[in-house]
Amino acid sequence: MNHPARPVAVLVGPPGAGKTTIGRKLARRLDVPFRDADQMIEEAEGRSIPEIFADAGEPAFRAIEERVVAEALETFSGVLSLGGGAVLSATTRARLRGHRVIHLTIGVAEGVRRSRGAGRPLLAGGDVTARYQALLTERAPLYREVAWSTVSTERRSSGKVVTEIVDRLESGDPHARSTADRS
């Protein structure tokens, strides 16, 4: 956290885990800027993520994502939220080493509920629950690989989640329990 051009925290996790919501609140609490990598991609490309997927396919999207995330990790000094699939890139996972990466977790049912109708091309159509479970099965080990700390967002207020993350960042202990959760 002492390097001026490095994120204070990087949030990773599956769709619906709360990366953007928690990220915004965490940034406000820490009085630092917030950036969402998916939004950065849309700004850089001048089109939405579903449009990029439809026009160029997932491999092209992942290449753009890898480039945008690499630049943000080098130049951004706030709270950075990554798209759920950013960890699929071995290059991105390697770049995340040494950063305070917070893995936000959520169960399948809650993740599906929160992700419905949110313009998520990999969850569109068919059995969304089965697709979400498959996505989680594939990505969970990758989230754990890059995580400095893991925090559940399942049935917890965003305020409690943010307090727990702040406690961990400030103490330097990736397993610190929030005083709000000890009562």
Stated length of the chain: 183
DSSP strand pairing (79-81 vs 34-36) = parallel
The rounded distance, in Å, linking the Cα atoms of 95 and 115 is 27
Between CA 50 and CA 29 the distance in angstroms is 31
Q: What is the pLDDT of residue 4?
A: 47
- Judge contact between 42 and 121, C-beta under 8 A: no
Binding annotation for Mg(2+) = 20
Domains of the chain as residue ranges with CATH: 11-174 (3.40.50.300)
CA 121 to chain centroid, in Å, comes to: 17
Judged by DSSP in three states, 81 sits in strand
Q: Which residues participate in the annotated binding site for substrate?
A: 38, 62, 84, 139
Report the predicted TM-score, pTM, of the whole model to 2 decimal places: 0.89
**Per the structure block, which two tokens stand in for 172?**
């330097």
Q: Are 27 and 79 in contact (CB under 8 A)?
A: yes
Q: What is the pLDDT of residue 131?
A: 84
Is residue 58 classed exposed, middle or buried when 0-12, 13-18 and 19+ CB atoms within 10 A define those classes? middle
- Which residue is it, tokens 């991609």? 41
Q: What is the pLDDT of residue 41?
A: 95
- pLDDT string in tens for the chain (183-residue length): 444 458 999 999 998 899 999 999 999 999 999 999 999 999 999 999 889 988 998 899 999 999 999 999 999 999 999 999 999 999 999 999 999 999 999 998 888 887 766 555 555 567 778 888 988 999 999 999 999 999 999 989 999 999 999 999 999 888 887 655 544
Annotated binding site for ATP: 16-21, 120, 156
Binding-site annotation: residue ranges: 16-21, 38, 62, 84, 120, 139, 156
* Strand-strand pairing, 101-105 and 149-152: parallel
